[in-house]
């Protein structure tokens, strides 16, 4: 058996008439709805393609071992397409697996199936539609805003994507709710009873009243007779549920909330752990373990750990009993550890530890306690207080991310009377909602069907890198550009930033996978729907542009900081992170992809030479390198470049000198302006 590999998507969709369609100022974007497209192999993937074609000549069968999800299925069919150019009659097989362990690989090899053409077709349709929609609306927005605001957004790319815009819409909608919020004062009563060192606060059954005079009357009635009578004491069992088995969305949300690691980085780490055989496949919608998963063997692996080994042994002695969620993608189990390791560091260690602790916790038992609720009356007004005794911590012993502690309450009996130590009338006011955290945003995206568990992080990174949002205190705040784009479309009652357009499309993609709807029908219907929206935009573009002008007239691109949780070293400053998604392009159709077919990292050259300050794309895995300005259309300025005479950090002009001599090319990256000894592609 001969084994070889690919790196993400081998083929990309592109417009057949790509040279003509690149003329943004003269080419009608509307034509891109129907401009012929084709799948072709990028130049930087030709060697991989040739390797496949060379190796397949001596084979009588082809086994596809790509990831077992939609994207993996599509990559498999790209491999098949390339191989069949050499051997049209070769036998094709599909290996199904969810973890990279010897047992899983052997089981897959002994149970080979066939590739799923319908699942692959769904990805083809998604890629083609994202290319068309992204190209049409990105060009419209970019050209119109450049023309309307030449001094504000001149030569900047203003991208559109059918996933990124609803994601932005959620952020803007929450910002609006805060801006439009009008606080309202309210009043409430509270009773305190102190016996020795034991103090208990009783909360008002009415909760709060918005009429101060009414509250004052009730307060005075309680002050006139502060005698409290216990009218009810109820003790009942209380349970704190252990976590559900871990799916992708929950991993992203909890890592962001508990570990303070953003979703993008979390998925990169999870992908690395999976590739190393340390955890199961990290892109899964399943939160229930099937009966064929050997939980005992998985828990056995963790017995040797000094931090949770004893807990793992206790789970085994009681018998693992994981909670069952209500989601299953019928493809992959929940995320779980497949190996015990101790050599991980920093964020990798923290993500791995969270996965292990969640797995052990979900296989354990719920925490158990007793809750006592005491009710009293003063002047016919009801108040209540609760106490808790935790009797069995169970899963909490291995899950430090949640707290549940006992709360003492005095031993009250029905009929007891006492004089309240204190009766208070407290004033407060309603609070606006908070800006969205990343966990909040992912929750909304999942609820409304925007993207998939594998792409949520990518769409969030896109609206950050496009300067549509900034991060303030780990919360998302829209920039003036982000607000302006959404408000303009909303003013025309256009659903560009609303979730239902993309959600309906995602539903259709599932129907394609389930063989309930044809791919051709879905593509045709989606193109027609977006074409109608585009025509309406054109008919009212003056109103739209006026709206953008009002919002953006004082906006300056460089005033919007890009905060993406980046890291830096002595040679380069990261402005983005590579994607774990294997999609061939983002939904705006404009992201530069590396040889791995992932969005390339944007870095800044910090070496003390003539290239200092220049931005470039780079990928450490495939050694991809490209200057940012070399990847943009001729009418679009480098969005990461400091404009001449703009000051920057020291007011220096960043323009590089030109020369009339024929420039020499670096033998490593084939670019000019340096040689191999000081090439930015080395050591950054």
Q: Which residues have a catalytic role annotated? A: 281
- Kindly list the distances between the CA atom of residue 615 and the CA atoms of 557, 633, 659, in Å, as whole numbers in the listed order: 17, 16, 21
> Strand, helix or coil at 539?
helix
Long-range contacts of 438-444 (CB under 8 A, 24+ apart): 438/252, 438/253, 438/256, 438/262, 438/263, 438/474, 438/476, 439/252, 439/253, 439/254, 439/256, 439/257, 440/174, 441/167, 441/170, 441/171, 441/476, 442/249, 442/252, 442/253, 442/256, 442/263, 443/253, 444/170
123-133: b (≥16 Cβ within 10 Å) or e: bbbbbbbbbbb
List the Cα angle 118/246/346 in 5-degree steps.
Answer: 115
Rounded distance between C-alpha atoms, residue 602 and residue 627, angstroms? 9
Among 40, 56, 62, 147, smallest CA distance to 545 is for: 147
The DSSP output letter for 681 is T
Backbone angles phi, psi at 309, to 5 degrees: -65, -40
The DSSP output letter for 29 is G
Rounded distance between C-alpha atoms, residue 286 and residue 273, angstroms? 19
- Kindly list the distances between the CA atom of residue 421 and the CA atoms of 120, 203, 225, 378, 383, in Å, as whole numbers in the listed order: 71, 14, 12, 12, 14
DSSP, residue by residue, 322-365: ----S---SS-PPB-BSS------HHHHHHHHHHHHHHHHHTS-
263-275 and 456-465 helices, crossing angle to 10°:
140
DSSP3 helix / strand / coil % (the chain, rounded to 5):
40, 20, 45
In terms of Cβ atoms closer than 10 Å to its own Cβ (0-12, 13-18, 19+), residue 423 is: buried
Rounded distance between C-alpha atoms, residue 393 and residue 367, angstroms? 5
User: And the tokens for 297?
Assistant: 């063997």
Around Cβ 221, how many Cβ atoms within 10 Å? 15
Among 126, 135, 129, 114, smallest CA distance to 71 is for: 126
Rounded distance between C-alpha atoms, residue 447 and residue 463, angstroms? 19
């Amino acid at each position: 058996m001969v084994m070889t590999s690919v790196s993400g998507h081998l083929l990309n969709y592109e417009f057949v008439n790509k040279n003509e369609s690149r003329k943004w100022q003269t080419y009608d974007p509307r034509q891109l709805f129907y401009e012929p497209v084709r799948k072709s192999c990028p130049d930087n993937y030709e060697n991989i393609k040739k390797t496949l074609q060379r190796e397949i000549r001596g084979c009588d069968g082809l086994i596809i071992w790509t990831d077992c999800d939609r994207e993996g299925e599509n990559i498999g069919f790209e491999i098949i397409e390339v191989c069949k150019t050499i051997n049209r009659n070769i036998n094709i097989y599909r290996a199904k697996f969810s973890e990279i362990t010897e047992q899983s690989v052997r089981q897959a090899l002994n149970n080979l199936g066939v590739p799923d053409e319908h699942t692959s077709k769904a990805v083809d349709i998604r890629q083609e539609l994202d290319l068309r929609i992204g190209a049409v609306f990105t060009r419209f927005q970019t050209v119109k805003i450049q023309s309307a605001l030449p001094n504000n957004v001149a030569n900047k790319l203003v991208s559109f994507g059918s996933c990124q815009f609803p994601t932005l819409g959620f952020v803007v909608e929450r910002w609006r709710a805060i801006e439009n919020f009008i606080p309202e004062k309210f009043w409430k009563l509270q009773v305190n009873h102190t016996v020795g060192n034991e103090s208990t606060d009783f909360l008002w059954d009415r909760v709060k009243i918005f009429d101060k005079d009414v509250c004052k009357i009730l307060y005075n009635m309680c002050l006139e007779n502060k005698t409290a009578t216990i009218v009810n004491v109820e003790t009942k069992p209380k349970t704190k549920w252990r976590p559900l088995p871990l799916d992708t969305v929950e991993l992203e949300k909890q890592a962001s909330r508990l570990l303070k690691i953003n979703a993008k980085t979390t998925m990169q780490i999870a992908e690395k752990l999976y590739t190393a055989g340390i955890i199961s496949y990290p892109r899964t919608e399943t939160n229930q373990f099937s009966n064929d998963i050997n939980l005992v063997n998985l828990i056995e692996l963790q017995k040797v750990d000094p931090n949770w080994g004893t807990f793992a042994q206790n789970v085994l002695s009681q018998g693992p009993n994981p909670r069952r969620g209500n989601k299953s993608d019928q493809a992959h189990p929940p995320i779980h550890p497949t190996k015990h390791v101790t050599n991980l560091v920093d964020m990798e260690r923290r993500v791995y530890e969270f996965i292990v602790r969640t797995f052990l916790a979900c296989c354990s038992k719920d925490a158990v306690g007793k809750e006592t609720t005491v009710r009293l009356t003063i002047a016919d007004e009801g108040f209540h207080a609760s106490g808790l005794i935790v009797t069995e911590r169970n899963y909490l012993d291995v899950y430090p991310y949640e707290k549940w502690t006992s709360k003492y309450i005095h031993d009250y009996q029905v009929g007891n009377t006492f004089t309240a130590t204190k009766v208070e009338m407290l004033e407060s006011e309603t609070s606006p909602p908070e800006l969205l955290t990343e966990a909040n945003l992912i929750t909304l995206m999942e609820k409304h069907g925007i993207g998939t568990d594998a792409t949520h992080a990518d769409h969030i990174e896109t609206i950050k890198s496009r300067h549509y949002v900034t991060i303030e205190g780990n919360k998302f705040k829209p920039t003036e550009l982000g607000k302006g784009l959404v408000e303009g479309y909303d003013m025309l009652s256009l659903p560009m930033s609303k979730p239902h357009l993309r959600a309906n499309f995602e539903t259709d993609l599932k129907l394609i996978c389930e063989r309930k709807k044809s791919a051709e029908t879905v593509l045709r219907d989606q193109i027609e729907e977006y074409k109608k929206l585009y025509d309406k935009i054109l008919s009212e573009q003056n109103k739209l542009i006026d709206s953008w002008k009002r919002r953006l007239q004082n906006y300056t691109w460089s005033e919007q900081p890009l905060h993406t949780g980046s890291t830096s070293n002595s040679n380069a400053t990261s402005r983005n992170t590579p994607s774990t998604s294997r999609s061939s392009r983002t939904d705006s159709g404009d992201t530069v992809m590396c040889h791995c077919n992932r969005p390339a990292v944007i870095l800044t050259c910090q070496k003390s030479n003539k290239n200092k300050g220049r931005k470039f794309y780079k990928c450490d895995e495939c050694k991809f390198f490209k200057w940012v300005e070399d990847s943009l259309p001729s009418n679009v300025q480098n969005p990461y470049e400091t404009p001449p005479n703009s000051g920057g950090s020291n007011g220096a002009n960043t323009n590089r000198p030109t020369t009339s001599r024929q420039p020499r090319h670096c033998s490593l990256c084939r670019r000019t302006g340096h040689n191999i000894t000081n090439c930015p592609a080395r050591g950054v």
